Structure 1
Amino acid sequence: MGIKEMLNLAWVPSILMLGLVYVVYVLIGGVVFWKLEGDLGEKDISRLVVNKKRLLTTYTCLNQDGLEEVAQVVQDASKVGLSLKGNYTTDGFWKFTSSAVFAATVVTTIGYGNMSPSSTAGQIFCVFFALFGIPLNMVVLNRVGKYMLVIERNISDFVQGKTRRRRCTRFFVHLVSYLSGTVLFFVVPMLVFQQHEGWTYSQAIYYCFITLSTIGFGDFVADSNPDKVYPEWYSVLMASWIFFGLAWLALLINHSMDILERLNTHFKQRWAGQKQEEECGSAEGGNPETQVEEEDEIKTPPITQ
């Protein structure tokens, strides 16, 4: 077996091409983010420097060390979820409901970063909790996603039996499923978060996708503002939305991966078919001298004695 056959057998060119596309995609994303956010970040830094100087000028009793101490207090208060407005304090992050939501963000690998265990026992428990919880979460989400797919296929088969149109029926059922999931896991939560968190619609839809895709930047986190009083059902609704939304988005991503795999297989088959036709054509063309010899052998009668 030659080197060329070995490369074709291992599909090394396709792997390299896929890796090249991945690297180029990431670099393009980096350039776009750099152009969109770079200038804005420099403006934010300049504005903060001006505000810092103005603060030190206004409050002459506050020097650099005092400013650092105030900043540390604000940072510590934000970590535990305490409000610095007024003369009252909230219960902080570590209530039962918010702790349950935190446990959900751990096993789903969202990890907002707005709250984290600070005690040694809590950190050790978090390690083992995530070690067993993440695989369990993946298994459960995979099973729930399969049930969603089964329900979708049963509906598709039922409608197909009534209409006798397979492709149109499957396309219509998939489209309705995607639109229903978009409304249920993006549009409705967007309205709820806009109402209870005071975010804009773009911020709310951004938070929905960042959460359900398990990216979890932590720049926007629902049910974490210490200056707001949330209803008791809010945390339960959030946990349910995260769980079923992850299952639906995982199903959607699996469908997208399946479409990409089918396109890849289709192009591979076309490429292999063209290559086979070229090889067959070259084999049929052959060497002209060989063709002449073969024609002479056919035309020349056998010699008899």
Structure 2
Amino acid sequence: MCSKIYKLSAKIFEPEKSSDQMLQKPDNRMANCKNASKLAKCRHYFRVFITHLFSHVGLCGLVVGYAIVGALTFESLEAPNEINQRSTIQKDREKCLKDLWNITVNLNVLYEENWTILVGSRLKLFEQEVVNAVKNEGYDGKESNDDELQWSFSGALLYCITVITTIGYGNIAPKTDVGKVVTIFYALFGIPLMLLCLTNIGDLLARSFKFTYSHLCFLCRNPRRTQPIPIQKQQVGEVTKTPLDKPMEISTLELCNGDDKTLSGNSPPLSSSPTKSQISNNTTSVVVMPEPTPVVVERVYRDNSTAEEQRVPMYMVLLLVTGYICGGAVLFSLWEKWTFLNGAYFCFITLSTIGFGDLVPGSDIFDAQSGQAKLIICCIYLIMGLSIIAMSFNLVQEEVVIKCKNLARNLGLLRSQHDDDDDD
């Protein structure tokens, strides 16, 4: 009893809650709802971003942006070192000339043998300095005031493309310690990204090429009829509305193949028109349909031929790759003043990602004022060529798998498709 009285007095004398305190819980709920809605929107936008990022267009844009950022990075890291090396070699050359003059002045009487020994030893020292600068420091034999650099934007872009595609010409390479470290991390992220992009583009090109090839083959084999056969609307309606539409398609397919087979099952053979006895004796029997019309025959033939023409023969793929290599050979032979054989050799070595580096574009296409557009064109040719090679691998792989399965069926190692259909 005392506890009840104590609780009642506590409730009576309890201070009243202010309006702010009463609205505190609803405000917290509203804030939580807003935060949840913002989080849901962020998740939605993130999913949309990832979807577009890993689509075909997103991957291509990501690779292009990655290459451009890498080109700007390596240009800023390696270009100053290249200019410094040119200045160093120029100073060494001037010092060598001064030493040669001092040798000549110090010899009061010029003896050819003595002068040749002294001058030859000094020239040999200068040659060693030049060779070391070419092999280890990236010296290309140009002056320090020359505007054309190896590590320009176009040169750095070609270097980035050769790194992430694993071609690696080797004509230019980073000489600074920072550039070498950046190359390692740049390749670690760039090579998987480039392979993913080439795989997706190759799959897209393969499907597009199969679609185009199948439709071109269909147009060549089935030209449009100049005089179509007139068909009554009533017959077409009867054909489309009948429940025996599927057996009728099978029969027309057999007629197209030239086989004289009847339909399997308890259904009667098709005749040209139903007889009166059949209609009067069995009213619940299946209505016998007329002979297949040319429209149905053409439709079944189109579906069957399209399924077979999805396969692209190997010689078409080889012709496409050979044509691309020959086109590049003609282009580079005209620009670089190479022979056609050297141009074809360069294209094959490049597209096969071997990349010896003995032939590299960039000598005679454009002058320095054009911004070395030749290297950018070479990058475009390289990316398109690798995409075509990826497409070719995809198409050839499908054809080889089909040939191997057919060979295994002929040898009895695999069950044939007809046996599988009979079991079903």
Q: Tell me: CA distance 1:194–1:269, structure 2 relative to 1, closer, same or farther (3 Å).
A: same
Q: Tell me: CA distance 1:136–1:117, structure 2 relative to 1, closer, same or farther (3 Å).
A: same
Distance in 1 (alpha carbons) for counterparts of 2:352 and 2:389:
7
2:366 touches 2:374 (CA, 8 Å); kept in 1?
A: no
Secondary structure, in 3 states, of the residue corresponding to 1:218? coil
- Give the CA deviation at 1:200: 1.4
Matches within 5 A, 1:100-179: 100-162=157-219, 163=222, 164=302, 165=305, 178-179=318-319
Q: 1:82 aligns with which of 108, 132, 140?
A: 140
Matches within 5 A, 1:1-305: 61-63=119-121, 66-67=123-124, 69-70=126-127, 72-74=129-131, 76-77=133-134, 80=138, 82-83=140-141, 89=146, 91-162=148-219, 163=222, 164=302, 165=305, 178-183=318-323, 185-223=324-362, 225=363, 229=367, 231-232=370-371, 233-273=373-413
Distance in 2 (alpha carbons) for counterparts of 1:69 and 1:258:
60
2:351 touches 2:382 (CA, 8 Å); kept in 1?
A: yes
Unaligned regions of 5+ residues in structure 1, if any? 1-58, 275-305
Q: Sequence identity of aligned pairs in percent?
A: 24
Distance in 2 (alpha carbons) for counterparts of 1:93 and 1:198:
20
Aligned residues: 212
More off after superposition, 73-82 vs 251-260: 73-82
2:312 touches 2:399 (CA, 8 Å); kept in 1?
A: no
Distance in 2 (alpha carbons) for counterparts of 1:269 and 1:71:
68
Q: Tell me: CA distance 1:217–1:96, structure 2 relative to 1, closer, same or farther (3 Å).
A: same
Distance in 2 (alpha carbons) for counterparts of 1:76 and 1:235:
24
Secondary structure, in 3 states, of the residue corresponding to 2:120? coil
Distance in 2 (alpha carbons) for counterparts of 1:265 and 1:169:
18
Distance in 1 (alpha carbons) for counterparts of 2:339 and 2:145:
28
Q: Tell me: CA distance 1:121–1:87, structure 2 relative to 1, closer, same or farther (3 Å).
A: closer
TM-score of the superposition, structure 1-length normalised?
0.58
Residues 132-183 of structure 1, C-alpha deviations (whole Å, 9 max, x = no match)? 1001001111111111112112213323543355599557787556534433
Distance in 1 (alpha carbons) for counterparts of 2:157 and 2:318:
29
1:210 touches 1:217 (CA, 8 Å); kept in 2?
A: yes
- Give the CA deviation at 1:67: 3.8
Distance in 1 (alpha carbons) for counterparts of 2:365 and 2:138:
13
Q: Which has the higher helix share?
A: 1
Q: Which amino acid aligns with 1:195?
A: L
Distance in 2 (alpha carbons) for counterparts of 1:264 and 1:68:
65
Q: Tell me: CA distance 1:226–1:244, structure 2 relative to 1, closer, same or farther (3 Å).
A: closer
2:167 touches 2:354 (CA, 8 Å); kept in 1?
A: yes
Q: Tell me: CA distance 1:71–1:169, structure 2 relative to 1, closer, same or farther (3 Å).
A: farther
Aligned-residue CA RMSD (Å):
3.5
Secondary structure, in 3 states, of the residue corresponding to 2:367? coil
1:83 touches 1:226 (CA, 8 Å); kept in 2?
A: no
- Give the CA deviation at 1:206: 0.6
The structure with more radius of gyration: 2
1:83 touches 1:227 (CA, 8 Å); kept in 2?
A: no
Q: Tell me: CA distance 1:107–1:129, structure 2 relative to 1, closer, same or farther (3 Å).
A: same
Q: Tell me: CA distance 1:260–1:62, structure 2 relative to 1, closer, same or farther (3 Å).
A: farther
TM-score of the superposition, structure 2-length normalised?
0.43
- Give the CA deviation at 1:62: 2.6
Q: Which amino acid aligns with 1:82?
A: D
Unaligned regions of 5+ residues in structure 2, if any? 1-115, 223-301, 415-424
Residues 198-236 of structure 1, C-alpha deviations (whole Å, 9 max, x = no match)? 22111110110110111111111112x499736443222
2:317 touches 2:396 (CA, 8 Å); kept in 1?
A: no
Q: Which aligned runs of 4 or more in structure 1 are off by greater than 2 angstroms?
A: 59-63, 65-69, 74-84, 86-92, 156-183, 225-233, 253-274
